[in-house]
Structure 1
Amino acid sequence: MDLITLGAAKTSIADAAGISGSGLFNPSIDAQFTNTSTTDSAYVFLSFMFTNPFKSVGGTYNLSFDLTATSGVSSSAGVHVRTFRNNSGDPGDWANILGDINSYTPNMVGGKISYKNSITLAAANYDFMKVVISMPKSASSGINLDIKNLQIKVNGINLCGSLVTIGMMYGSSTITYTKPKRLATTGYVDTKTNGTWAGKKILISGDSITDLATPERKYIYVIQDQIGCTVLNDGRSGTGYLNATPIYNRLSGLDSTADLVLFFAGTNDFFNGGGVDLGTPADTGTTTFYGAVDNAYRNAIAKWPLKTIAVITPLPRTGMNTANSKGFILKDYVDAIKIVAARYSLPVLDLFNGSSFNITSTTFVANYTYGGAGTVGTGDGLHPNTAWHIILARKVLAFLNQL
């Protein structure tokens, strides 16, 4: 379960990543790695990949963990810890070594080691960082390794809450990637087993932030990886509740067997083509934004009367406080969404007022929006990049698990 307060205002990139050095959010990771295969190989690799909130700054990386090897590794094996930078999000990407925290020392004693070390790394532009712990593998032996209390901190900020992937790799010719048997960490939702919507069908109707038209890994598929749900994606770039192909007009063709229906749109209604007419809360037709939102929610309730329906507001965006051609700012459209949702008692995740998508910061835009290269002046100030979609996934999933 995500422990981040959704409505809290965040003021830094570290806060935006959902991590804190205050002690209130100070998670650690426990994991058990097992494999009965006796395939001989030279090494065992335990891999932990994290969203990197420090793309354009260097710093001190501190790592600590307790490791116990029951089988598969010599009881006196040396432990090697290496860091990698990664922009693909692919756990099998072994390029771009950042630096070794240590070589194959110190050694385990009796199959156990309590490890604590640090490394200072220069600034580098990368979305993810990976920590790999490797040990010589015992010949022709299955693997059973336990890690307890793994923590990694950068400049005093704990990254464990931004864990993306975790796995074990081994084999001299073919590297295999497997998820651990057990994973326990504060602030992270386990795969396939936890959460209200594990194994369910989640339908989401929205715009380019949900659509697959752009290459970033979208939040809804991060959630799918974490809980094993089925995604029914009705994200369509450039559309909205009333703009372009309106949502209220799309619902009849969508899957009636969905277990959960989400709406995540509105930013294009504010901006594209100069914006659509806002209207008033009393509107129930299809010529104004208020009326189009009302039609979308009414139609959804009629189509899925026994299913859960929920609403996500637009994120902040560049230009949100400049009036459109109709004289309205983005907040006016957000307020309309919330007013109509309340009419039908639909739960709302207010990302506009409490997401930490801090587009007023040029540094944030350069690091966390599409096209950003880590330098001020880059990034579109609208679409989250892959790193922030992972953050967004945690926020959305925490909201969904409350429904």
Structure 2
Amino acid sequence: MTKRLVAIGDSHTYGAFASDFFSYPKYVAKAFGFDEMENYGVNGITICPETDWRPTMANCEYIREFLPGDMAIITGSANDWIKNVDIGEVSDTSDKTFYGALNILFARAKERYKTVVVFSSINRLNDGLNKKGFTLQDYRNAVELKSKEFGFYFIDGTEFKVYPKEEESRKKLIPDGAHLNDLGQKLFTEFLIDKIHQLTGLPIQDFSFDNSEKKMVAMGDSITHGSGAGESFGVVSNYFAKTVADHYGYELKNYGTNGTTVAEQYEWRPTCSLCNYIEETYKADVLLVPCGVNDYNRNIEIGKYEDTDKTTFYGALKIFFEKAKEKYKKIIVITPISKKNEQNKTKRGYCLQDFRDAIVKVAIRYGAFVIDGRNVPISGDDESVIPDGLHPNKEGHRIYGEYLVNELKNIL
């Protein structure tokens, strides 16, 4: 049976300031023999959504979009401290305070994961009073208290021997005082593996810090993320991008996020536009990017082929592909798959095919490989594979993935 490790956290989990694809979740999974690993680390993410920075992403909400698994490693609190989240009271149950958000996050984690390991934020250069009058240690203490209350394994991140206030340690491991470099990530991983072994008794397997695998990045929306209509916890484990990566032997980083558009003109999650978010993605051998359906759903202006403005679909596509060319050796773009009622026009007068046509026109200009999503043998009108008319279920993702495997055999 497949064993899955899920990592939930911030830039530390993501691996900011370390080499691409080089962060602790990857190697913890290897050390304890997990077959699959999903790294949901996001730069700047908080636990609580009630910050004085807008917009913000918060893990007490986003955990609902994560795959379940055998073990979760959760961290956080530094960004809540930075963004001046009110700590609140231990008994809080709303997402308006840090304690309340912790209660929500941990309750949801308990439902989804057999084993949960939580570690508090590591030492950093700045950790004093924020505008709410709390130190970073106050947030760490809250994390420890709630972790133990929920019966989770807890690791004190400050026990990791990195001392950003000391110049030698900072230069060696954590140059900006907050984010670990490659050596810092390696040493922290060894620290974390040892702590997890001590707490859980799980045997440590032989592994290396090899980072030479072929690499693939997937970007896109809820379908890329693996959201599956009618599935347990709303996500599927065999999402199409994973099927492709596994078949061709690529290590995969999936940036698919519910609601993502290509263009910037999107109020619900304005940071989740491909033309902007691509700046934060790993470099890789291959980029796999289905796109366009949310721009249609959200009434984005298609604009003109000559546009260079990220608020129109044409303009945003150009910006996206310009940046993608710098980061990826091969770019594979997939136009929207079949959707129920796709012939209906938006308030601006566009049907889904108009967005497909724009994608093809721009993608070809930038030398991308184009897969026509209409040819994927699943229909938005077939409830057995797309129950809600938009999101494929487990069977739909299987068909989608196998179709791509066949179509890409001469590309990958």
TM superposition score normalised by structure 1: 0.45
- Normalising by structure 2, we get a TM-score of 0.44
Whose relative contact order is higher, 1 or 2, with alpha carbons under 8 Å and at least 6 apart?
Answer: 1
Q: Which has the higher strand share?
A: 1
Q: Which has the higher helix share?
A: 2
Query: Highest CA radius of gyration, 1 or 2?
Result: 1
